[in-house]
Structure 1
Amino acid sequence: MDITQLGDRILSGDRRALARAITLVESRRADHRAEATALLDRLARSERQALRIGLSGTPGVGKSTFIESFGMMLVGQGLRVAVLAVDPSSARSGGSILGDKTRMERLSREPNAFIRPSPSQSHLGGVARRTREAVALCEAAGFDVVLIETVGVGQSETVVSELSDLFLLLLAPAGGDELQGVKRGIMEMADMILVNKADGPLKPVATRTCADYAGALRLLRKRPQDPEHFPKALTVSAVEEHGLAEAWTEMQTLTQWRKAQGHWARNRAAQARYWFGQEVRHALLARLESPQARSEMDRLAKAAADGDLTPASAAEQMLAYLNANR
């Protein structure tokens, strides 16, 4: 693969080249990883930046419908929008449906939009293993807004806050148990809560739910990266496309304030530090996957199971083996 040519095509906004590059960075082959690293290093020189918006929420809340309506609105304003959707993988087969493109039929036909579903595989935190690198590729391709849709399974989906500038939490018109379930963890990470499905008979319920969440947000500790009245809760209807423009205005207000106060740059620097640590950890864990290391692991695991070694002693011997075979 000609990395130089591929990089030039991405910088020119070629969506097919972008899709090919994302496939490259998602590959686990050693030669592909080397090519992906070279490509990302080359594209980093462009210093292009997009507004990265992470979006999480419970299954069935209407994340895909919201993203399509919101994306269509942004495209209508002349912006280029990329959607990186993470699909849950089966713990048994490892497969994923990857049906997000079919659920965003209108947006997928837009020439200024790009939709890429990726399997979560065994990676925790609601995003795929290489979502961060896919975001960087989309920025290099000249997209103005990158929407990152998480798996949508609960409070553990806070990793998306480590690769986004804004983190939106999408919730359905409800209260009580649902409010209790998200009062900590993911809710503390959210920059904005959007109560979806505020239409028809659910509109009054959505309004009350929004008021409940707004009250809950006021009880949380004030964060230095938030101006007055943030984070806040709003009602939206992805189906009727109500409230989307107001939500976008609030997102722009928050983004501009953070840039002016220096929080944007500090957040991006902190995220780079976080992902550096993650890369080192994954590289160290990858050393355990070699055939020789697996054989030694099996031998020491058997010794621990048979009682010949304690688990702590077996672990020490395994670390000594890795240090001796670097």
Structure 2
Amino acid sequence: MWLLPFFQKSRTFTKSILVLKNPEKKSALSEVNGINQPNSVSDAVARQIQNFRRKQPSAAELVSNILKGDKTALSRAITLIESTNVDHLAKANEVIQGCLPHANKSVRIGITGVPGVGKSTFIEAFGKHLTSLGKKVAVLAVDPSSSISHGSILGDKTRMEELVKDENAFIRPSASGDSLGGVARKTREAIILCEACGFDTIIIETVGVGQSETAVHSMVDFFLLLKIAGAGDELQGIKRGIMEMADAIVINKADGDNIAKAKLAKTEFNRALHLFPAKNSGWTPKVTTCSAFEKTGIDNVWSIITDYFQLVKENDYFDYKRKEQNQFWMMETINEQLKTHFYNHPEIITLLEQNKKAVQNNEVSPFAAAQLLLNQYFNNRK
């Protein structure tokens, strides 16, 4: 007990020393101010970029730069035609009209398949093969939009990291939005701009929604269906619809232990194709295997596509199909612009909100409300 006062005095003395050494009592989690890093962004360059982005080029300037092969102008023009702002419609139509005489000089290839089949990997390997042959390749990749947040990842450039660095390639991801058929709303117009920019091979990658691929089929010359073996989808693939539209079926991921399964799937799909009626083009669809990961069989796919184009150009089916597609997209454009103008009409916007509440409260039927809105719209157009 006689040592207790001594220890008490010792603790007091130690505490006083600590207080003197660190009078602020900083926390152990406190940080010491380091060296201030210099500004990594030049203010002058930042202002220059902001002014460049703020300046909107005219339609004539966009067309002129697109015809020179300017990818930046091409990207800005595609953004313009994808805009839902009605004020941009006239300028977008002017750009398309200016590019139209320089379009229709490419081959258009649509590629579809179920999610996970390896579309992006295949397109990168296929695109690199085409650029090695001296082709200029434009990839219009369509990403699915969320039905909840309405957002889209648009990550195809990240997936195609080798192709995106190729000087003879252009990759443009677009969100599908509320469009059906696995393509974006303005993919057809984007094709015209890419052709005017000098790209001789246009690849359209769909979101891969299964059998709802009629939209992409109506804008391409060759329709390629990607499949995988051993996934239990052979019966699903044999169903009429998606296979009936395909000009070629490519079984991807034919590598490693999957080679035998891919060969078996090739045989099954070949048998199934004989059940379908002959195509108007006179072409017999082909089935082949490849490995986009190992880059094997890609040259055989291009050989099949080359044989197809040689046939349809000799029998004039190529030009016939292009004319039919132009007529189809005229009707689709009319429908799209009527829809856009209807929903952006000032009176319809107000009246639509009122009728939504009335329909939700069962005060009026959805059909009567729709008819009321249409009558109001057409009366205003008189």
What interval of TM-score do these two structures reach, taking the shorter chain for normalisation?
A: over 0.9
Aligned 8 A contact 2:312 2:318 in 1: yes
Matching residue of 1:241: 295
In structure 2, relative to structure 1, the CA distance for the partners of 1:215 and 1:175 (3 Å cut) is farther
Matching residue of 1:8: 64
Matching residue of 2:377: 322
Matching residue of 1:60: 116
Matching residue of 1:213: 269
In structure 2, relative to structure 1, the CA distance for the partners of 1:279 and 1:182 (3 Å cut) is farther
Determine which of 278, 295, 301 is the counterpart of 2:332: 278
SS at match of 2:65: helix
Instruction: Give how far 1:311 is off.
Output: 4.9
CA–CA distance in 1 between the matches of 2:359 and 2:159? 50
Aligned 8 A contact 1:57 1:154 in 2: yes
Determine which of 153, 158, 170 is the counterpart of 1:114: 170
Aligned 8 A contact 2:86 2:341 in 1: no
Instruction: Give how far 1:157 is off.
Output: 2.3
Matching residue of 1:232: 286
In structure 2, relative to structure 1, the CA distance for the partners of 1:76 and 1:306 (3 Å cut) is closer
CA–CA distance in 1 between the matches of 2:163 and 2:366? 53
Determine which of 130, 135, 144 is the counterpart of 1:88: 144
- AA matched with 1:232: K
CA–CA distance in 1 between the matches of 2:118 and 2:366? 46
> What is the identity percentage for the equivalent residue pairs of Structure 1 and Structure 2?
46
Instruction: Give how far 1:129 is off.
Output: 0.6
Matching residue of 1:265: 319
Aligned 8 A contact 1:175 1:212 in 2: no
In structure 2, relative to structure 1, the CA distance for the partners of 1:322 and 1:245 (3 Å cut) is same
1:24 aligned onto 2:80: yes
CA–CA distance in 2 between the matches of 1:295 and 1:167? 43
SS at match of 1:219: coil
1:196 aligned onto 2:243: no
SS at match of 1:169: strand
**Structure 2 unpaired stretches of 5+:** 1-56
Deviations for 1:8-44, whole angstroms, at most 9, x for unmatched residues? 1111111111111111111112222211110110111
Matching residue of 1:255: 309
Select the structure with the greater relative contact order (CA < 8 A; seq sep ≥ 6). 1
In structure 2, relative to structure 1, the CA distance for the partners of 1:201 and 1:306 (3 Å cut) is closer
Aligned 8 A contact 2:84 2:340 in 1: no
SS at match of 1:174: coil
- AA matched with 1:318: L
Determine which of 281, 286, 292 is the counterpart of 2:347: 292
**Structure 1 unpaired stretches of 5+:** none
Aligned 8 A contact 2:107 2:221 in 1: yes
Normalised to the residue count of structure 2, the TM-score between the two structures is: 0.80
Aligned 8 A contact 1:83 1:148 in 2: yes
Instruction: Give how far 1:306 is off.
Output: 6.5
Aligned 8 A contact 2:237 2:243 in 1: no
CA–CA distance in 2 between the matches of 1:145 and 1:36? 23
Aligned 8 A contact 2:143 2:153 in 1: yes
Q: How is 1:115-194 mapped onto 2 (pairs within 5 angstroms)?
A: 115-174=171-230, 176-181=232-237, 183-194=239-250
For the pair shown, the structure with the greater C-alpha radius of gyration is 2
RMSD over aligned Cα atoms: 1.9
Residues matched between the structures, number: 324
In structure 2, relative to structure 1, the CA distance for the partners of 1:41 and 1:255 (3 Å cut) is same
Aligned 8 A contact 2:102 2:195 in 1: no
Instruction: Tell me whether 211-220 or 179-188 shows the greater mean CA deviation.
Output: 179-188
Normalised to the residue count of structure 1, the TM-score between the two structures is: 0.93
Instruction: Tell me whether 237-246 or 199-208 shows the greater mean CA deviation.
Output: 237-246
The structure 1 segments of at least 4 consecutive aligned residues displaced by more than 2 Å after TM superposition are: 174-182, 294-320
